[in-house]
């Protein structure tokens, strides 16, 4: 049985905010990291529109988050100090083709613009309204209609349009390269029938088709009976219900946006670009609340394609910076996206007009069983002790054109934290002539249809706060003794440890040959054995890009070549590919910032980790791809004095558990 917890139940206390933020004194009753309300979004957008007095597109409108030290002082004070309540917006004047960054202060009697900066030569992310308007534009453009007729398409309403950023275009223009697909009926996956050979450029500011090239002609692939959204006609039988039952409710509590579970606590946020943001991740260690991470989120997702043929050479997506992970988030469905006793958080965002809208059930939170936590049996006496593990799951799903991505944070009873990206949805496809082959650049998945090879890179940004703001990062490698070192049995090996002192030292990649991992430490705090408290970052899949250094994609995102960066904290450094990756021509993110080579030893630091996978497509990925997984772990490494899960109670005998004794062949 799957149930949804109402925010008004006694297990969860939701803070009602309404219009209280309009009053400066009342605002201090609410946490400084509370997301903007609908009322605040309206106030901010109207204030900016009145200041600029022009037709604007709101590309981002979110809380301007206060610094961690300001938040800490506010929390510690019995009489809450004044904290400015501010909003940050990116707006586009499409007529003058100018982008502005605006900060609005909300604590005043009337909201006030306190900063308005024109940012030249950049393009904000693509908006939902631009997707829709562009599809209408394509379906009515005479030159495109003629090209469609030459391909046997007389009904433009059967043409689906997918926007990709103008990868090889001048960043001073807001250019998109639409890809077209022919949809035969509502049940058929449109990606099964790409319309190839057309290279189209659309100016999104002017909302005008500025170029159409007919490069070649490839027949549209035939309708594929497999390419359906629904199940096959014959559905497998024998699958019994699997119910997750928590008759006494879950073990977590919620106060506004703050979550408490077992010894964990954190705050839940959400932005257009990142989607789910977690603040103030802490662990209660026997009565002492110990901070671990102040802010954590997935800040970019880059998907470069390896097929050099048109249009695939144009496919190099920056899905966070160009589209927005949060803006494209799903409203999750009870019993489908999450099983068990579920708590949902809504997300309140701004549309292109600056009007607020709500994504219901954008974030899902629930508990899951996680197998054995620890166990030991004394073989002499037969006495055994074991504990079952449980984890708290906080997640959201987003759909970026053809692909669907889930982002999951897991919290465990033994102090582990895990981040996982789940990849599903539909492959990006290309048509191919009879007798032709994609070679190593793709895989045939249907008649006259192939899926090109590509990569997925995810970057998570973690503003560390491990037992305080003074942290360092160490690299650990395992090696055998050198020839001159003692090794009489030729079997010795040991771990080496190096502390990064400056940013250039910490530009690193994984190495499975040395079992390499990294530790975030607080050199000022020690456990009972005198070891510096630490969490280690355990990577799983860390591909490297295959594009050359002089390629467009590496010039835009050279940071993809490394799995680890460590930077000195700077609130302006939020996104590894820079704030405006749309069409940009230079790498103005992580690789630029780290050239400052600032000190990162025993200081306020940010850890950036890039991971992902190289997707060599296969027939089994069609028509909808089974979920692929990638991610990393953060594991306590001398952070505690011993196993912190020793106090987990013994598992109870549960009435609805049963023993299956019927032979499988008879079931």
State how far Cα 637 lies from the chain centre.
26
Task: Name the active-site residue from 191, 283, 403, 559.
Answer: 403
108 counts as catalytic: no
324 by Cβ neighbours in 10 Å (0-12 / 13-18 / 19+) ranks as: buried
| Cα 666 from Cα 479, distance rounded (Å) | 54
CB proximity list for 362: less than 8 A, separation 6 or greater: 270, 275, 326, 329, 330, 331, 332, 344, 345, 346, 347, 396
570 counts as catalytic: no
- Backbone φ, ψ for residue 529 (5° rounding): -95, 5
113 by Cβ neighbours in 10 Å (0-12 / 13-18 / 19+) ranks as: middle
CA distances 157 to 131, 137, 182, 212, 478, Å, are 15, 11, 9, 19, 61
Strand ranges inside 151-287, DSSP E: 159-165, 175-182, 194-195, 198-203, 208-214, 253-255, 258-261, 264-271, 275-285
H/E stretch holding 295 reads strand 288-304
Residues 114/102, Cβ–Cβ less than 8 Å: no
Residues 423/614, Cβ–Cβ less than 8 Å: no
State how far Cα 222 lies from the chain centre.
36
CB proximity list for 222: less than 8 A, separation 6 or greater: 447, 448
SS3 label, residue 473: strand
| Cα 583 from Cα 83, distance rounded (Å) | 37
CA distances 606 to 302, 574, 594, Å, are 20, 10, 12
| Cα 466 from Cα 196, distance rounded (Å) | 52
Task: Name the active-site residue from 141, 203, 319, 404.
Answer: 319
Task: Report helix, strand and coil shares of the chain as percent, to nearest 5.
Answer: 15, 40, 45
Mode of pairing for the β-strands spanning 112-119 and 159-165: unpaired
- Backbone φ, ψ for residue 510 (5° rounding): -70, 160
| Cα 409 from Cα 419, distance rounded (Å) | 5
Q: Closest by alpha carbon to 387, among 423, 355, 414? A: 414
The residues assigned a catalytic role are 319, 403
């Amino acid at each position: 049985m799957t149930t949804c917890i109402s925010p008004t139940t006694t297990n969860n206390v939701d803070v009602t905010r309404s219009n209280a933020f309009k009053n400066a004194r009342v605002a201090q009753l609410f946490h400084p990291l509370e997301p903007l309300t609908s009322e605040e979004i309206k106030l901010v957008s109207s204030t900016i529109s009145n200041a600029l007095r022009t037709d604007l597109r709101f590309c981002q409108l979110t809380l301007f988050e206060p610094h961690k030290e300001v938040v800490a002082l506010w929390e510690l004070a019995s009489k809450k100090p004044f904290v400015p309540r501010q909003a940050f917006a990116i707006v586009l004047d499409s007529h003058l083709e100018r982008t502005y960054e605006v900060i609005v202060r909300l604590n005043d009697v009337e909201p006030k613009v306190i900063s308005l900066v024109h940012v030249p030569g950049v393009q904000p992310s693509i908006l939902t309204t631009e997707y829709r308007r562009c599809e209408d534009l394509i379906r009515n453009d005479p030159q495109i209609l003629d090209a469609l007729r030459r391909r046997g398409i007389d009904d433009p309403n059967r043409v689906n349009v997918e926007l990709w950023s103008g990868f090889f275009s001048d960043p001073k223009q807001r250019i998109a390269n639409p890809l077209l697909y022919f949809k035969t009926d509502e049940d058929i996956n449109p990606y099964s029938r790409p319309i190839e050979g057309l290279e189209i450029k659309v100016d999104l500011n002017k909302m005008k088709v500025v170029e159409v090239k007919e490069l070649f002609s490839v027949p549209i692939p035939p309708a594929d009976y497999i390419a359906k959204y629904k199940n096959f006609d014959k559905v497998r039988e024998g699958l019994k219900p699997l119910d997750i039952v928590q008759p006494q409710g879950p073990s977590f509590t919620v106060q506004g946006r703050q979550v408490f579970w077992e010894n964990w606590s954190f705050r839940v946020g959400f932005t257009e670009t990142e989607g789910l943001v977690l603040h103030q991740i802490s662990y209660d260690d026997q009565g002492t609340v110990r901070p671990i991470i102040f802010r954590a989120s997935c800040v970019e997702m880059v998907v470069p394609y390896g097929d050099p043929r048109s249009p695939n050479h144009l496919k190099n997506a920056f899905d966070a910076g160009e589209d927005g992970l949060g803006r494209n988030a799903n409203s999750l469905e009870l019993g489908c996206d999450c099983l068990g006793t579920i708590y949902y958080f809504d997300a309140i965002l701004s549309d292109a007009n600056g009007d607020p809208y709500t994504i219901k059930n954008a974030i899902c939170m629930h508990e899951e069983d996680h197998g054995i936590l620890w166990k030991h049996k004394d073989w002499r006496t037969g006495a055994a002790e074991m504990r079952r593990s449980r984890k708290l799951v906080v997640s959201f799903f987003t759909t970026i054109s053809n692909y669907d991505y889930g982002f999951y944070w897991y919290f465990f009873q033994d102090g582990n934290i895990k981040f996982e990206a789940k990849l599903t949805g539909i492959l990006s496809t290309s048509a191919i002539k009879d007798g032709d082959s994609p070679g190593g650049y793709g895989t045939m998945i249907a008649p006259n249809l192939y899926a090109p090879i590509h990569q997925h890179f995810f970057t998570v940004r973690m503003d560390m706060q491990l037992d305080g703001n003074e942290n360092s990062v160490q690299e650990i490698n395992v090696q055998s003794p050198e020839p001159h070192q003692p090794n009489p049995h030729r079997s010795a090996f040991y771990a080496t440890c190096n502390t990064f002192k400056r940013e250039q030292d910490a530009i690193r990649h994984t190495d499975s040959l040395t079992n390499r991992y990294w530790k975030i430490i607080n050199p000022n705090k020690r456990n009972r054995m005198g070891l510096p408290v630490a969490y280690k970052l355990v990577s799983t899949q860390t591909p490297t890009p295959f594009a050359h250094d002089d390629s467009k994609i590496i010039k835009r995102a050279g940071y993809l070549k490394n799995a680890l960066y460590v930077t000195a904290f700077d609130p302006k450094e939020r996104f590894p590919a820079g704030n405006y990756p749309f069409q940009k021509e230079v790498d103005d993110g992580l690789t630029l910032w780290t050239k400052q080579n600032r000190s990162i030893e025993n200081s306020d630091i940010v850890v950036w980790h890039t991971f992902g996978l190289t997707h060599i497509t296969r027939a089994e990925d069609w028509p909808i791809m089974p979920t692929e997984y990638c991610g990393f772990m953060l594991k306590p490494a001398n952070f505690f004095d011993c196993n912190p899960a020793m106090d987990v109670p013994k598992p109870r005998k549960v009435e609805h558990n049963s023993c299956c004794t019927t032979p499988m062949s008879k079931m």
